[in-house]
């Protein structure tokens, strides 16, 4: 056994883990904020707070990874645990110490890693805060320092749980207040830039400074200024290659093979960093810039798919349409032109719409969808089960696919009611000649249940996360 593993299994350290009362606890916003900040600051698709027990590495908070724990040899985490500073490695696959790590040699196929230990008040490292990427890379000095600072704050959160904290701080309220206010001030400052831009990630909205207090006039003015600034820069971003398209895979549940990809637009701003779609897509819709953005995404998607030969491999690509797109008289013509210019088979493109987008002006939307269908593209209704959920419109629209929302999918393997609802939707869609995709799938057990119910396909982190184009080719080699 390597020395670091002996240290990780030290009885005193394991006792410190137990005294923290953190293993197998529910998710908490404070830890989720740390992983969110780590991911954004380091521009990494994966961030974790891992607590290291004797035989497992359990994730108290996770960003961009569907696993709840690792019960194998997580060498990267263990190495970090036994250090005293930030540990970073450019390419774990090229390092014999870590090339057999389960997260390196198997999904999610980590290449880059950086982490820092989380330490209790009495000096025991009980876990790590880490960021990871699927491609080899490095962090700047500033990013490494920021990760170290975030780790210190994670250690303070751990201290709040530790049974010896009261003894170490003193039994007075002043001691506890000092620790609590220090962390609260840190989060408030760190999240100012993010929360003022109204980040929403995976359903988790970071707490704004004041934790729910009424927003000040100054804060509202700052938010409006940022909104207007983003609006002005969005059109330029299209021309300056700040926008890019990532691809999230879908699988056929019967064959267990990849069936295609959904295109998801991303904005890497030169000064603001990663701007989330939930932030700039609504701005594009309200300002009318979605009329230029959607055709751009379609163009980028079909061009990439054609270059990679996806249609010849039977792989579909899907692009989302907004409500505003459905009321553009020129949209069908523009889509047809893009397909012809790229010599792309229309049947290999799926355009996804939402229930609410259709119902905002049903007659107008129906006319646009019929024209798109005449071109030969497939049409899918997205987020089914969360909007109007009117069954009447399903028989009127020229749809080929129905995507059941994650809200109904998440507990389908735990709840008989959810399972019954999903099965009803699957049977209904099949009787109407549509295939069915379960979206937002994050657990293997969900995939099994969806297969048993008769669902045709699935999409979500349990299948694969959204990937940059360069990563897709590597991912397809093993899937």
The CATH number that applies at residue 104 is: 3.30.450.40
Q: What pLDDT sits at residue 72?
A: 63
Cα 114 to Cα 347: distance, rounded to the nearest angstrom: 43
In this model, does residue 175 exceed pLDDT 50? no
Residues 133 and 244 in one domain: no
Tokens of 365: 């939307």
> Euclidean distance between the first and final Cα of the chain, in Å?
33
Can you tell me the mean pLDDT for 444-458? 94
Q: What is the CATH number of the domain that holds 265?
A: 3.20.20.450
Residue 212 covered by a domain: no
In this model, does residue 176 exceed pLDDT 50? no
Residues 349 and 469 in one domain: yes
Residue 203 covered by a domain: no
Per-residue b/e over 257-273, b at no fewer than 16 CB within 10 Å?
A: ebbbbbbbbbbeeeebe
Can you tell me the mean pLDDT for 4-23? 79
Cα 290 to Cα 20: distance, rounded to the nearest angstrom: 49
Residues 415 and 271 in one domain: yes
Residues 244 and 181 in one domain: no
Can you tell me the mean pLDDT for 160-182? 44
Beta strands in 288-400 (DSSP E): 316-320, 349-354, 378-384
Residue 45 covered by a domain: yes
| Angle ∠(441,134,152) on CA atoms, nearest 5 | 90
Can you tell me the mean pLDDT for 372-380? 97
Q: What pLDDT sits at residue 67?
A: 85
Can you tell me the mean pLDDT for 146-153? 90
Tokens of 26: 């529910």
Residues 373 and 421 in one domain: yes
Q: What pLDDT sits at residue 47?
A: 93
Residues 177 and 236 in one domain: no
Residues 149 and 279 in one domain: no
Q: Which of 149, 175, 195 is the last residue of a domain?
A: 195
Cα 284 to Cα 288: distance, rounded to the nearest angstrom: 6
| Number of domains comprising the chain | 2
Most confident option among 152-156, 261-265, 411-415 = 261-265
Q: At 197, is the pLDDT very low, low, confident or very high (cuts 50, 70, 90)?
A: very low
Q: Which of 143, 175, 195 is the last residue of a domain?
A: 195
In this model, does residue 96 exceed pLDDT 80? yes
In this model, does residue 200 exceed pLDDT 60? no
Structure confidence by residue, pLDDT tens digits, 248-299: 999 999 999 999 999 999 887 776 666 767 778 888 888 888 999 999 999 9
Residue 204 covered by a domain: no
| Angle ∠(209,214,215) on CA atoms, nearest 5 | 65
Residue whose C-alpha is closest to residue 74's, from 90, 92, 94, 61: 92
Q: At 173, is the pLDDT very low, low, confident or very high (cuts 50, 70, 90)?
A: very low
Higher pLDDT, 209 or 478: 478
Residue 206 covered by a domain: no
Q: What pLDDT sits at residue 427?
A: 95
Higher pLDDT, 182 or 96: 96
Can you tell me the mean pLDDT for 400-409? 92
| Angle ∠(8,113,34) on CA atoms, nearest 5 | 80
Q: What pLDDT sits at residue 206?
A: 35
Residue 219 covered by a domain: no
Q: Which of 180, 195, 210 is the last residue of a domain?
A: 195
Which domain range does residue 443 map to? Answer: 227-476
Residues 164 and 245 in one domain: no
Q: What pLDDT sits at residue 313?
A: 95
Residue whose C-alpha is closest to residue 157's, from 32, 14, 12: 32
Residue 210 covered by a domain: no
In this model, does residue 196 exceed pLDDT 50? no
Structure confidence by residue, pLDDT tens digits, 242-256: 888 999 999 999 999
Residues 39 and 120 in one domain: yes
Chain-centroid distance of CA 345 in Å reads 30
Can you tell me the mean pLDDT for 371-382? 96
Residues 264 and 322 in one domain: yes
Q: What pLDDT sits at residue 159?
A: 77
In this model, does residue 142 exceed pLDDT 90? no
Residues 358 and 450 in one domain: yes
Residue 128 covered by a domain: yes
Q: What pLDDT sits at residue 161?
A: 64
Residues 38 and 164 in one domain: yes
């Amino acid at each position: 056994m390597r020395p670091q593993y002996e240290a990780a299994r030290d009885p005193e350290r394991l006792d410190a883990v137990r005294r923290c009362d953190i293993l197998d606890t529910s998710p908490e916003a404070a830890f989720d904020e740390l992983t969110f900040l780590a991911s954004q600051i380091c521009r990494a698709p994966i961030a974790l707070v891992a607590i290291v027990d004797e035989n497992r590495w359990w994730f108290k908070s996770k960003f961009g990874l569907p696993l709840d724990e690792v019960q194998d040899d997580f060498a990267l985490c263990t190495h970090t645990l036994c250090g005293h500073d930030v540990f970073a490695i450019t390419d774990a696959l090229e390092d014999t110490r870590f090339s057999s790590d389960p997260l390196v040699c198997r999904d999610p196929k980590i290449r880059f890693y950086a982490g820092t230990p989380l330490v209790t008040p009495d000096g025991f490292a009980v876990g790590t805060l880490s960021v990871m990427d699927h491609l080899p890379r490095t962090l700047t000095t500033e990013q490494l320092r920021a990760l170290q600072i975030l780790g210190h704050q994670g250690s303070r959160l751990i201290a709040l749980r530790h049974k010896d904290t009261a003894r170490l701080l003193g039994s007075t309220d002043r001691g506890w207040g000092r620790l609590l206010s220090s962390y609260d001030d840190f989060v408030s400052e760190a999240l100012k830039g993010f929360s003022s831009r109204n980040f929403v990630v995976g359903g988790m909205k970071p707490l704004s400074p004041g934790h729910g207090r009424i927003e000040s006039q100054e804060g509202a003015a700052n938010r409006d200024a940022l909104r207007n600034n983003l609006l002005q820069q969005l059109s330029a971003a299209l021309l300056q290659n700040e926008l890019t398209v990532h691809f999230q895979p879908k699988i056929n549940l019967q064959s267990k093979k990849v069936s295609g990809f959904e295109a998801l637009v991303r904005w890497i701003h030169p000064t603001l960093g990663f701007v989330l779609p939930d932030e700039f897509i609504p701005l594009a819709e309200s300002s009318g810039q979605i009329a230029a953005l959607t055709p751009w995404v379609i163009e980028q998607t079909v061009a990439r798919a054609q270059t990679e030969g996806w249609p010849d491999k039977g792989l579909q690509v899907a692009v989302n349409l907004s409500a505003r797109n459905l009321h553009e008289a020129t949209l069908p013509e523009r889509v047809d032109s893009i397909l012809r210019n790229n010599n792309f088979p229309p049947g290999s493109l799926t355009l996804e719409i939402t229930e609410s987008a259709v119902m905002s002006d049903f007659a107008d939307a129906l006319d646009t969808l019929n024209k798109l269908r005449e071109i030969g593209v497939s049409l899918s209704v997205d987020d089914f089960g969360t909007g109007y959920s009117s069954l009447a419109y399903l028989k009127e629209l020229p749809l080929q696919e129905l995507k059941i929302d994650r809200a109904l999918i998440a507990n389908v393997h735990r709840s008989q009611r959810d399972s019954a609802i999903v099965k009803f939707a699957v049977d209904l869609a099949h009787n109407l000649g549509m295939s069915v995709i379960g979206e937002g799938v994050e657990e293997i057990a969900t995939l099994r249940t969806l297969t048993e119910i008769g669902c045709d396909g699935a999409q979500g982190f349990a299948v694969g996360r959204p990937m940059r184009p360069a990563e897709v080719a590597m991912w397809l080699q093993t899937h």
